[in-house]
Every structure is written in C-alpha cells, then in structure tokens.
Homo-oligomer: A and B are copies of this chain.
Amino acid sequence: MDDLVTPKQVARAIGVSESTLKRWCDQGILPSIRTAGGHRRLEVQEVIAYLRHSGREIQRPDMLGLPSNTGKGARVISRTQTLLVHALIEGDEVQCRRLVFDLYLQDRSIREICDDVLAPTLDQIGELWGCGDIAIYQERRCCEITQRILFELQRTLRQATESAPVAIGGTLVKDPYQIATMMAGLILKELGWNAESLGSGLPVETVIKAVVDIQPKLVWLSVSCIDDTEYFIYTCNQLHNIAAEHRTALVLGGCALGESLRKQLSYTVYCDNFKDLANFASSLT
C-alpha cells in the first residue's frame, strides 16, 4: 500500500549523508513519520516528489524500488524516443522503465512524457507495424510494457483527496486501444483529479448511464476508430446533451475525429493532445 523506507535507504538513494537527511526530515523538507520507537520512516512517493522538484540526480534508484541505473546521465526527449522505440520492440522492459523514469525524475510531468515521448513513440511503432517491419506480437508487447510503465507512474502519485473533482472516460466499441484512455486518466490524476478510466470498448449508451450515475465533472472519450458514424454522431450528441444537464464537460480526443466529423458533433472541447486536456481540466477547477 504505502511503502515506507528507512533514512539510510533514502540517504543512499539521494546521495546525501544520513545527518543531512535527518535534518531535512526535522525541517519538514521531507515529510516523515515515526515508528513507535522513534525511528523515522519516509514514504517513497514523498522522496520521489522531492527528487523531482529539487533537481537532484538520484544516486541509487534501487534503494527506492525504482529501476536501477535510473538517473545516470541526462536524457533528452528526442534521444529517449529513439532509444525507447528500440527497447520496446526488443521487449526490454527494464530499459524502457529506466528511460521513462529518467525523464520523470528530471521533473518532467507525466503529461509531457505522454505527449512528447510515449505518444510519438507508439505512433512510430504503429507505423513500423503497418509496414510489416515488426511482428504483431512485438507491437502488442510494446503496448503491454507501456501500460505497465504507466501503471508504475501512477503509483508515484498521491491519492486524490475526497474533495477532488471526479472524471471518467474510456474508449468506444471496436476501439481496443486502452493506452490513450489510460494516459488521459493518469494525466488528470496528476492534476489532482479523482479520475478513473472505465476501460475500452464501451457503448456510448453505457457512458451516458455512467454520467448519470456518477455525475462526474468531466467525461473523456478517446476515439481511435468509429464503428457506425451516423450512430456515433447521434449518440455522441445525446451524450453531450445529458452531460450538459449534469454540468459535466464532454472532452473528445483521438485521431478518428477529423474536422468534417467534428462539425457534426457537439461537445465541450476537443483535444489534439494531452496538453489541451490538462489545460482544459485546470480551467475547470
């Protein structure tokens, strides 16, 4: 649940002396709790948060359960993408995690990582797949690994407060790509939302029902492909009407929503990328 680590582990991980770490704890720079005997214990999430905003390089990531070799050498976005494509195709999950966490620990937001690294990387892999340069199982494995990395990133976020605004979302029928909707949920969580993806392959009707039941402040749809365009337009507009009744914002995203199609749709906002989503979500709070 909440993994606690000892001062020694943290000191090694950050690369400072235990004395310094103790002082930081006492000054509140790094929040810590005490055991019954008075020993300090730190939450991994807090340590990661400190590492991110302090700009320090992590020395011993293994001490915090992070992929080893993380933090060694500054990575640039473009270089990471090249390496990541290769590592994903090879199925080298450890290397993939390392590359992503390098960026994350350098204070890149999850939003940035998704927009600037993961999305283009997966696009590239999708193209390779389309050209037949890689096997199907490799493409699927890439998605699996990416999912696991996204899940790891989610674990580093603090749990949403009770008062956090609620958001739900997912993909529609015949749309198996879970990654985009997972990213959307993750990015909203990063912004402090109580966001939850309902999964993929949802009929629009059940999304409507979910909006009525849960009454979220925001509902997102990631649309990569559409089964029946006419029907989609009809139900999507219906969803927007009902969402409006409940003061729920309808956010659409995805490559299947071309300009001509969007003209026939009503929605609160369309997002080309996750930056748009983040900006819009922030405007609601």
Indicate if the CB atoms of B36 and A198 lie closer than 8 Å. Answer: no
Q: Check: A275 CB closer than 8 A to any chain B CB.
A: no
Indicate if the CB atoms of A54 and B36 lie closer than 8 Å. Answer: yes
Q: Check: A242 CB closer than 8 A to any chain B CB.
A: no
How far does the Cβ of A14 sit from chain B's closest Cβ, in whole Å?
9
Contacts A29-B36, A137-B209 given; indicate if A144 touches B50 (C-beta within 8 A). Answer: no
Q: Check: A176 CB closer than 8 A to any chain B CB.
A: yes
How far does the Cβ of A170 sit from chain B's closest Cβ, in whole Å?
7
How far does the Cβ of A39 sit from chain B's closest Cβ, in whole Å?
10
Contacts A140-B199, A140-B201 given; indicate if A213 touches B135 (C-beta within 8 A). Answer: yes
Indicate if the CB atoms of A137 and B202 lie closer than 8 Å. Answer: yes
- Out of B1, B93, B148, B200, name the residue touching A65 (CB < 8 Å): B1
| B-facing residues in A1-41 (Cβ within 8 Å) | 1-4, 15-16, 20, 24, 29-30, 33-37, 41
Indicate if the CB atoms of B1 and A101 lie closer than 8 Å. Answer: yes
- Chain B, Cβ-Cβ closest to A205: B136
Q: Check: A203 CB closer than 8 A to any chain B CB.
A: yes
Indicate if the CB atoms of B143 and A199 lie closer than 8 Å. Answer: yes
Q: Check: A207 CB closer than 8 A to any chain B CB.
A: yes
How far does the Cβ of A110 sit from chain B's closest Cβ, in whole Å?
16
A4 to B176, CA, bound (A): 37
Indicate if the CB atoms of B196 and A91 lie closer than 8 Å. Answer: yes
A15 to B201, CA, bound (A): 39
A136 to B172, CA, bound (A): 12
Q: Check: A210 CB closer than 8 A to any chain B CB.
A: yes
Chain A to chain B contacts (Cβ below 8 Å), 16 pairs: A1-B65, A1-B97, A2-B57, A20-B37, A30-B36, A35-B54, A93-B196, A136-B203, A136-B209, A137-B206, A140-B202, A140-B206, A144-B198, A144-B199, A148-B151, A176-B201
List 18 other contacts, CB 8 Å, given A36-B54, A136-B202, A144-B198.
A15-B41, A30-B36, A33-B54, A33-B56, A36-B50, A91-B214, A93-B196, A135-B209, A136-B203, A137-B207, A140-B170, A140-B199, A140-B200, A140-B201, A140-B206, A141-B196, A151-B151, A176-B201
Q: Which of A's residues lie within 8 Å of B, judged by CB?
A: 1-4, 15-16, 20, 24, 29-30, 33-37, 41, 50, 54-57, 65, 91, 93, 97, 101, 135-137, 140-141, 143-144, 148, 151, 155, 170, 176, 196-203, 205-207, 209-210, 213-214
